[in-house]
Amino acid sequence: MEDPQMNDNDVLVQRTGHLGHLVLNRPQAMNALNHGMVLAVAAALDAWEKDDAVATVLISGAGGRGLCAGGDIVSIYHDARTGGHQSEQFWRDEYHLNARIKRYPKPVVAFMDGVVLGGGVGISAHASHRVVTERSRIGMPETGIGFVPDVGGTYLLSRAPGELGTHAGLTGSMVSGADAIAMGLADYFLDSSLLPTLAAELAERNASSAVARHGQEPPESALINARDWIDAAYSAADAGAIVKRLAGSGVPEAEKAAATILAKSPTAVTVTLEALRRARALGSLEEVLDQELRVSLRALRWPDFAEGIRAQLVDKDRNPAWQPAALADVPAAVVESIFEDLGPDELGLANARNGSVAVQ
């Protein structure tokens, strides 16, 4: 994995009026986050918190294709093959940033336009004012590379209505802007052509009034219309039972979801389901991020993570050899061990908030 140093232009740090604007600027990589970018965003937030001239922070992406396509997974793949030490520090800093955005004392507006995946969700969907558009395609696709949703993704998905988040997490599917609002991943819908106008107004106007002034009625959510079969299937006891219900539902969309899940890493699917159900019972984002680090560090060392990245992003043969190959063969004891406390290596975000009231 690359050194935390980055190209000076990977994050553009701009000030206009009362607005601090952070532009993720790796358009050739769809603004995929590297370690240096995480540190740069965190440093800007630290500086602007103390700057009374900055009233609002805006996070957007350069290049027109999307806010951010996730973390720099290929770098993590190469690092994992040599011990994974830089990946571990990257995740620690990234998860701290996710919590920082959630608790930031000033409004944080995120333009979730275009593709917003994985780490892109983490840097935007914890903001106070989350704006989606007709171009938004938002998702946590980790099960397809033998990994588990992180960056607070299991916190967000576990709090979606009914089992919508479970469906999105297990299938790794992308959702529209309207679906994201219905799931609680976003707040406002806006035509993408109006984003520059809104950005200009944020420099002069209160964030809530500026966003509300341009917000539009979102289109109908396809996911909400599918809640009957989604809730019926994904409430089953385990991943195998979920797939069985989906496949036997007689609903073409559900049958397609079953096939999609069966193509993912069985270990990742099983652990993701457990992570979502545990996250639902936890009280704060910090507690969930602590849990996600436990899972991520152990996932870094299981064979499916390296194999999934190889098949999807390195060799691109799209033919991963998962170990084990079937949901029924994932040992329950292995799943349980993935959630064990890390001892002195715990992330410790929840403990750092002791004595304060957790915000749900």
Say if 2 falls within a structural domain. no
Our CA angle for 118, 108, 98, nearest 5°, is 40
Return the pLDDT at 357: 45
Averaged confidence pLDDT in the chain = 95
Say if 284 falls within a structural domain. yes
Angle between helix axes 239-247 and 227-234 (nearest 10 degrees) is 140
Return the pLDDT at 150: 99
User: Is 71 known to be catalytic?
Assistant: yes
pLDDT higher than threshold 90 for residue 84: no
pLDDT higher than threshold 80 for residue 8: no
Q: Are residues 242 and 270 in contact, defined by beta-carbon separation less than 8 angstroms?
A: no
Return the pLDDT at 259: 99
Number of domains in the chain: 1
Look at phi and psi of residue 358 and say left if phi exceeds 0, alpha if psi is from -120 to 50, else beta: beta
Say if 4 falls within a structural domain. no
Confidence bin at 2 (pLDDT 50/70/90): very low
Return the pLDDT at 354: 66
pLDDT higher than threshold 50 for residue 337: yes
77 or 58: which leads in pLDDT: 58
Mean pLDDT calculated for residue range 21-44: 98
pLDDT higher than threshold 70 for residue 1: no
Tell me the CATH number at 214.
3.90.226.10
163 or 74: which leads in pLDDT: 163
Return the pLDDT at 80: 82
Tell me which DSSP letter residue 300 carries.
T
Confidence bin at 353 (pLDDT 50/70/90): confident
Say if 357 falls within a structural domain. no
25 or 5: which leads in pLDDT: 25
Give the span between the Cα atoms of 204 and 226, in whole angstroms.
41
Return the pLDDT at 74: 87
Q: Comparing C-alpha atoms, which of 105, 100, 245 is closest to residue 167?
A: 245
Q: Comparing C-alpha atoms, which of 301, 272, 286 is closest to residue 347?
A: 286
Which candidate in 61, 70, 71, 240 is catalytic? 71
Say if 297 falls within a structural domain. yes
Model pLDDT for residues 236-285, shown as the tens digit of each residue:
999 999 999 999 999 999 999 999 999 999 999 999 999 999 999 999 99
- The residue range of the domain holding 263 is 11-352
Which candidate in 88, 142, 292, 307 is catalytic? 142
Q: Are residues 239 and 267 in contact, defined by beta-carbon separation less than 8 angstroms?
A: no
Q: Comparing C-alpha atoms, which of 242, 246, 186 is closest to residue 215?
A: 186
Say if 152 falls within a structural domain. yes
Which candidate in 72, 150, 274, 290 is catalytic? 150
Say if 294 falls within a structural domain. yes
User: Is 150 known to be catalytic?
Assistant: yes
Model pLDDT for residues 140-172, shown as the tens digit of each residue:
999 999 999 999 999 999 999 999 999 999 999
Greatest CA span in the chain, whole angstroms? 59
DSSP notation for 10-62: SEEEEEETTEEEEEE--GGGTT-B-HHHHHHHHHHHHHHHT-TT--EEEEEES
Give the span between the Cα atoms of 211 and 331, in whole angstroms.
48
Which candidate in 61, 66, 118, 119 is catalytic? 119
24 or 79: which leads in pLDDT: 24
Q: Which two tokens stand for residue 344?
A: 């002195």
Give the span between the Cα atoms of 59 and 212, in whole angstroms.
17
Return the pLDDT at 77: 87
| Single pTM value for the model | 0.95
Return the pLDDT at 360: 43
Say if 170 falls within a structural domain. yes
